[in-house]
A and B are shown apart, each in its own frame.
Chain A
C-alpha cells in the first residue's frame, strides 16, 4: 500500500527526532513522540502562514524543531546543534523569536495564557490568523491554565485553538495517580469550552482539526501514546526523562525505519 505524504513526513521526522535526542544525549523522548504527530499534522496540513503555534509543553521542543525542519524552516545544521554549547535550540523553546517559535516555554502553564494574549491582540487589531497552542495533560494541574480558559471564554477568543496531548503520563507517575481529574474534557466543558477527542496519531483522526471546525470545537483532546512507535518506550513512565544508550537507539531505529 502506498504511503500517504503525511506518513512519509512522519517517518522521516521520527527518525530525525530520535537521532537528535540520541546525539545530544538528552531525554524527554517519550513526550516528544506523543506530541510529534500532532505538530507535524498542524504544520503541514492545518496552519497557514498567518497562524502561529505555541508549544506550551516546552519539554517537547525537539519535536517542534523537527516539525519546523520538516517544513524547511529549520536546517539540518540547526538540528545538529540541539542542546550543544552555543545552540539556539535549547532543550525548551528559546525566547529569541525564531521563525515558528513565537514564544519560549518550559515552565508549564505559561503557553496558553500567552497564546490568549496573542489571540486577543489579533482580535483587537482585526488581524487574521489563528493561534494554536499544544499543552500536555499533566500541565492542567497548573492553575494558570484554568485562569487562561476563563479569559479565553470571556473574550470569545475564537481564533485560539487549544490542543492537549493526553498521553496519561507525567514526570513521576500517571496523571490518574498523581492528580486525577478523571475526565479532563468535562472539566474544560464546565469552563465553557467545546471539546473533541481525537486520536493524536491517526491521520484520519487529525484531519478533523481544521479551520472550519475550530470555531465550534476549539479544544482538541488528543489521545496519544508516550513514546509512540517505539515498543519499549510506549506508555512507559521512565521515558519521560531517560536518554537513549546505543543499544536502545539501534533498536528504536530498527522499529521506526521504513
Chain B
C-alpha cells in the first residue's frame, strides 16, 4: 500500500482541520442530503420524512463515498416547519417554504423555541444516534438553519424592508432565531454529532454592514454555545457572498464553508488571517452532476491544491444534487486517500491541451512483446517502484522476447505517450499498448500469464497473417472439377485456412507461367501481410522483397 492516511479516523482529521492544523490529508465531507434518497432510490419527499430511509441512504453513501464526515440531514426547513411555515414538497429537492407565519397574523411572542420532540426533529436525531453507534470514527455534521435564513422563512422577504422600517423588530426576530439555533445545536450534539454547521445562505444577499448588524450578533451565541460544548462549528454560506467572508470569520465559527461562487483561494487567505479554517468548493452542477469521474477528480485536485492540507475540508458548496452520478463521488472518495492519483490528475490537468497524440495503431506489431510501465517516477513513488520491479524480475524468463520500458509522466513526451495509450491512472502496465494492470501491482504469476497470453496471441496473429491460396487452373470449370475436389478434400483433412480458387481465364492462366496445354494444374501461393494503413519506406519494402528470393 502507498503511504497514505487511509487509516486515520475521519473525526480526527476533521477536528484537526477545523482547528487550523496541518493534516496528513484533507478530510472529505460530501454533503449528501437529498442525493442519498436517489441511492435507495426514492423521492426526497418520502426520504426526508423517514428515519429508516435516511439511515439506509446515508449508510449507502458512507460505504460508497468513503467520507470522513457526513451531514445527518441537509434540510433547512426542519426548524421552519415546526414553527408553522408551510412546506412544498418535491421529489428531487428538499422542501421549500411556501408560507411565512409572521406575515399571516402570528406574532413573534406566540412562537416557541421548538422542543426536542417537535416536527421532524426526533426523526433526524434518531438518524444521528444510529449513525453515531455504527460509525464511531466518522465526523457527524448536524446542520441547523442559520438565524438570518430562519428569519426569512418566518417573515418572508419583507425582512429586507423591515431592516429599514423596524430594525428593532427584526433584531428581536433574529434573537429568537438564534435561540432556536442554540437549541437545535444542543439536540444534535446530544444525539452524538461532532460538528454543527450553521447554514445561512440568505446572508449572501446583504452587505458586510448589515451582516455586522443582523447576522454576527445572532450567529455568535450559537458558535459560543458550540465551543462551550467542546464541539466544532462551521458557518456554511452559498451564493455570491464574497463581501461577507471577513465578517463570517468574526462569528466565532471554527470553519467557513463556501460554494463555487466564491474563489477558494480568497477564502483561504482571508480565513487564515483570522485563524479560521475553511472548506469547499467542489462544483455542484457543472462537475459533480453533469461531469464525469475524471472531471470530479480534477476539480477535487484543484480544491486540494488550494487547501494545502492545512485547515481545509474538501466538500461541495451545498447539498449534492439528487441525481448526481455516484461514480463521480466515488472517484473523489478514492482520490483523497491516494496522493499518487492526485499527482497524476494534477499533471494530466496541466497538459490537457496536448494536441500531439501519437498514432498507436501499429503499436504492438513488433516481433517482441513490449511492456510499458507508466509511472510518476519509480524513484519517488513507492507503488511505481514496486510495479517496475515486478516487471523487471520476470522479463529474463522470456529470454529476450519481452522488452520493458518505464515512462515517467514528469516528462512531457511521456505524458503524450500516456494519453495516446488512453491511460488515466498511474502506475499502469500496458502490454503491447493494451492497458493490462491499473494501479495494482500484479502478482508474479498473473504478470507472467498476461505476457504469455500476449505471446500466444502474437503467434496466432502471425500465422493468420501468412495466408495462402491454392489455384486450380483449367480451360473449363468441368475440366477443373476433379482436381478441385481433391484439393478441397486435402484442405478439409488438414483443417487448413486456405483459399481455393478455380481459374479458367486463358490470360490469367498464362500469367502463372503455365500454357493452357499443361492444364489442369495446381499453383500454391503464400501471402504475408507486411503493412496496413501506411506507406512504408522503400528500404523497408526492399527487405521484404529480399526475403522472397
Question: Does chain A bind chain B?
Answer: no
